[in-house]
Chain A
Amino acid sequence: MVDTSFLDKGILLGYCFTVHTHHEKCEEYLSDADAVFYVTKYIDDVYEEKKREVIKQHRTAILDHITRLKRADEFSEELDPDDIDEIRRWMITTANDAWRYLRDYYDGLSYTTVRDVENDLRSLARELDKLTRRRKEKFDSRVESWTRDREYPGLEDNLGDLKQEEEEDYWVCIDAHDLACRTPGTTELVTNNPSDFGEQAYGSVIKQVTDIDKIRILVANPTTKA
């Protein structure tokens, strides 16, 4: 049992996407733990920016597919199974970011019109943002935002190597340490990144030199406690 829990960015991703390798663990953790969860604005901003970029890329890929379909002169008004097979082959021969779910969309589809496909895919392009936003809203309703307003230059002597190798993770430690210093009770840093926060990596030294009491690493199987 801990009182406060500082979430690394992988937890945000794992929670928001149901097919994420660690989704179940992240969902279970945020549902069961009694701690107050915190995430920094920085992590939130990085996620939002990257998400916007990826969604735009996927949306453009869907719209490009619609355009190719409308420009193709080999299909009649109604798409028969052969036409659908031909369209699904496009997914193999052309680089399209949306190939995986476009292929699934066409699975089992036949005797439909190009116009109906266009309507469906335009709806899909408009829905992408909404779906990811819904999950993020659920995440936001469970976490608090943490803002660090102090510097901890002394920690750099002990965590200099981490800063050198993975500066972003270094700042995650500093932010989690700040949370531990400024809130009562015990604090846990939760991540799904064993390469840097595992016991064999920087886990032990982080616990020695900071006020972070525990590091919990959530991975699909097994759950590792450092």
Chain B
Amino acid sequence: MSMDSRDSRESDVGGSRTESASDKGSERLGPPEFLGYRIIREREEQDESPTSRSKFWKLCCIADRYLVEELNHDIGFPRHWYKYGEVGEPHSVNRGFLNAPRARFWEGQELFSDRKIPITEFDISGEDQRLIRRAASKIVGEFGKRPTKELKKHQYNNDAPEPFIEAYSKLRAQFEAVDLDQQKLLPDYSQGPSSTIENLLDEMLVTYPCDRYEDVYGMYLNWDDTMRLMYETGGTAPEMKSFLEFFVEKISEITLRFEHNRNIPEDRLDSWREEREEKIRVLDTGIEETRRALLEGYEPPEVLESVSDSFDRSMTEELDELNPAEE
């Protein structure tokens, strides 16, 4: 199976996994950097528990949303929707104010402020400074002590740009609720409409924005049916969760980060566009391979008999294109 889901709590930042000195984004320390700096400083003042990369960037996004939506102030902070909610775009921010050693308690990095930076080093207006301080203080006060999982939940419940996104987050939560250690089987599909998994897949199906996410629509339909097939044939929660994460990761790379973003520089968008065709190919292949494996030995009820002649006719007409000279 060509799935390359990275199911790590540090994986959803949408870019580099390390804050290396050679890859700090632009050299300028402007309003977005000041927001990041204030967030990390506020966190350090709040308590001594370390801040993960995921948490840091989510706090930045929530604070930027507060700036834009409540204070009506756009500081140009780059963010976009991705696999686990809305994320900051680290490549488009100068991360020189951050120090990111290996985390002590989880796989990944923990973030600290690199040094105390005098305000004169930031190229920002007094208005920017005042509003960013206010936003950082409010958001860290409200969310700083909460686990990253809760911040994700807050984003999905409050900020999801499409009901479809909220719907798949509910399905993910359902899989996470199953005891993964025991790899327990999910409720029997034959239980009918009461099946939670089926209801959640239905919710995704009726909320899928066909026009907006048109490029992935056909693949989504095939993914959905393959997921139902996996469920019917006794797939386990980890298997189905992995297949869901694979789809969400790919639709994020192919569609979501283009459709739902703010202040992403054109060169960054270009680099995503360059990868797009390959991501589409990987999604398509992953779905087809998973489907083929599930259909091995699967015996669907015979429905085709009554329509087999008209099906044959349709297939023949299209396959006859292989032999055009005959006509």
Contact = CB atoms under 8 A, between A and B. Distances in A.
B325 A54 contact: no
Interface string B179-193: 000000000000011
Contact of B225 (A97, A122, A169): A122
Which of B224, B228, B303, B313 is most buried by chain A, counting CB atoms within 10 A of its CB? B303
Contacts, number: 127
A67 interface: yes
A186 interface: no
Given A60-B218, A67-B205, A130-B295, A17 B303 contact: no
B221 A126 contact: no
Contact of A46 (B306, B311, B312, B322): B322
Contacts of B309: 18-19, 104
A128 B228 CA distance: 17
B269 to A, nearest CB: 29
Interface residues of B, number: 41
B285 to A, nearest CB: 12
A70 B202 contact: yes
B123 interface: no
Given A18-B312, A100-B313, A101-B314, A193 B323 contact: yes
A130 B225 CA distance: 16
Interface residues of A, number: 53
Contacts of A192: 323, 326
Contacts of B301: 120, 123
B322 A104 contact: no
A19 B313 contact: yes
Contacts of A166: 325
B308 interface: yes
Contact of B315 (A54, A130, A193): A54
Nearest to B206: A71
A131 B312 CA distance: 10
A13 B225 contact: no
A101 B306 CA distance: 9
A125 interface: yes
A51 B314 CA distance: 12
Interface in A33-59: 46-47, 50-51, 54-59
B18 interface: no
A89 B325 CA distance: 35
A22 to B, nearest CB: 8
A199 to B, nearest CB: 15
A122 B229 CA distance: 9
B314 A104 contact: no
Given A17-B316, A19-B309, A101-B314, A10 B221 contact: no
Interface of B: 192-193, 202, 205-206, 208, 217-218, 221-222, 224-225, 228-229, 288, 295, 298, 300-304, 306-316, 318-323, 325-326
